[in-house]
Amino acid sequence: MVFVKGPVLYPDIGKKARDLLYKDYQGDQKFTLTTFSSNGVVSVAITSSGTKKGDLFLADVNTNLKNKNITTDVKVDTKSNVYTTITVDEPAPGVKAIFSFVAPDQKSGKVELQYLHEHAGISTSLGLTAKPIVNFSGVAGNQKASFGTDISFDTATGNFTKCNVGISFTATDLIASLALNDKGETVTASYFHSVSPFTNTAVGAELTHSFSSNENTLTFGTQHSLDALTSIKARVNNFGKASALIQHEWRPKSLITISGEVDTRAIEKSAKIGLALALKP
């Protein structure tokens, strides 16, 4: 059974299918360690992560601080960039306010307001520059169907930099969505079907057509829980790329994920193997 309360924000249209087909697949080696502390009022979580991509090693440290309804995230990466996000939850009923910026980029500041209602989900953001990029997205509907749009306007050039529309339908055990993206250049249809909620078994598919290149990308996927702590996923696309993963929760909130990808049209090539280890003591 698929549980949907009502309209969500625009990026959530088709998210169930995308998570099934793409989430947790890893082609590199990634290690994540998270530590927590709390005094009952303020809680702090520090997450250190490192990723090995071939000969390149990338790392970052993220600090998450929560005090009542205010959450502050600060992340520092290996390029000395500092990403800061301050989120105020429920300053008014159904409202979330987000302020973010990246140092040393002086033009990266942005403020965003989100509003969730039983029949609507709205998000609007504004860049903190003299001639900012303004973004608006909105979704309206109910538990069975919703329609949304996502638009960005560059006040410096007077052009629309983004114009997307999408629609989603939800039944007892399935979610189907259709989206026209990239200012009408691509159309994406997706499908998520919950086969058995007891074993978290589901199947999904995504079809993307590019009008400019006249190219289609079709991806099928499935997931299944072997037991309460172990799950498997698999996917294949029309270009012959087949992937699979197994994920095991070896202690509460600590996961080890092993994934692999093979090109069935060039089977002589070595398979890509990924490993992700997430520790939360």
Q: What span, in angstroms and rounded, lies between the C-alpha atoms of 186 and 184?
A: 6
- pLDDT per residue as tens digits for the range 179-214: 999 999 999 999 999 999 999 999 999 999 999 999
Residues making up the chain, counted from first to last: 281
pLDDT at 27 over 60: yes
| 8 A C-beta contact, residue 222 and residue 248 | no
- pLDDT per residue as tens digits for the range 54-89: 888 999 999 999 999 999 999 999 989 999 999 999
Cα Dmax for the chain: 59
Structural tokens at position 248: 């095991």
Tell me if the pTM is above 0.75: yes
Residue for token digits 């026209």? 180
| 8 A C-beta contact, residue 268 and residue 275 | no
- pLDDT per residue as tens digits for the range 167-178: 999 998 999 999
| Band of residue 2 on the pLDDT scale cut at 50, 70, 90 | low
pLDDT of res. 5: 59
The H or E element spanning position 264 is: none
